[in-house]
Structure 1
């Protein structure tokens, strides 16, 4: 009969002993860190969602600004075409042998039309500025959410190191980073 013998390494023995010891005596330090890490991970998921959401919103606002700028540019091009036609009509009114009254009336018509186009172009430019400003506000909020997310990730990393080293000062540092994350998230939520 062949029997297999397994000889555990000293590391395996230590891990088994530490695990058995922790579970047997109810390791409150590890339990507290584990619960806090789970809470921080949940908070991190919420912060990540908010950061992504505001980033998308800022991009959409910037896109809307670009659309308005393109429309304004089209209107300014139209305005320039009307100005050119007005100038040509005014020139034609001074050419001998042509109906000056007709061309002066045409020049006046183009002048009136281009005024309407100018007003529309300026309105579109104003809307583009509003979209740009909105995009900047939302992007600032996105940066706050991202800063909060970074702080919570640091807190989670510190909690993991705390669990391994069992250093009380590291636990306090992890909780401080988590608190900083909450402050940054609150600032983002309040649009500050």
Structure 2
């Protein structure tokens, strides 16, 4: 029968010793870091959700702008067709033996129809511009959420390193990064 022996590494032995010592002595340092890390992870999840949400909204707004631009383009094509027909009708008024009055009336009809189409195309272009602007604003907000998320991830990483090194100055840096993250989140929330 073979017996298995487990030989712990020096690192594992050290971690066990530190853990036992921390629990025995009521180590507040580790507890505070653990609670702060959990809070930062929760804040990070909220920031991540908001970043994804605003990214989707910006994409939808950009899509709406593209749809309106396509509709405007279609109207401008329709406008060009009306212009061509108007030009042909005006040309026909100069051909001998043709009912010039009929073609003059047709040219006038195409001219008035063109004006309606032109106004509709311009209105669609304005809508497209409005959607584009809205997309840019939301995309800016998305970037703020992403910056806040990055800062909170850095704070969580620093907190983990702080727990291993037990350096008080590193804890302050981790908390500072978390503070920066919260400020960026507030700026994103307020659309700044």
Structure 1 residue 2: deviation in Å? Answer: 7.9
Partner of 2:183: 183
RMSD: 1.5
How many Å separate the matches in 1 of 2:40 and 2:141? 21
Q: Secondary structure at the match of 1:127?
A: helix
Partner of 2:124: 124
Determine whether 1:148 maps to 2:155. Answer: no
How many Å separate the matches in 2 of 1:171 and 1:74? 61
TM-score scaled to structure 1, two decimals? 0.96
Q: Secondary structure at the match of 2:41?
A: helix
How many Å separate the matches in 2 of 1:52 and 1:139? 11
TM-score scaled to structure 2, two decimals? 0.96
How many Å separate the matches in 2 of 1:100 and 1:117? 26
Structure 1 residue 188: deviation in Å? Answer: 0.4
Structure 1 residue 26: deviation in Å? Answer: 1.5
Partner of 1:112: 112
Q: Which runs of 5+ in 1 are unaligned?
A: none
Structure 1 residue 7: deviation in Å? Answer: 4.9
Determine whether 1:81 maps to 2:81. Answer: yes
Question: Residue 91 and residue 42 in structure 1: after superposition, are their counterparts in 2 closer, same or farther (change >3 A)?
Answer: same
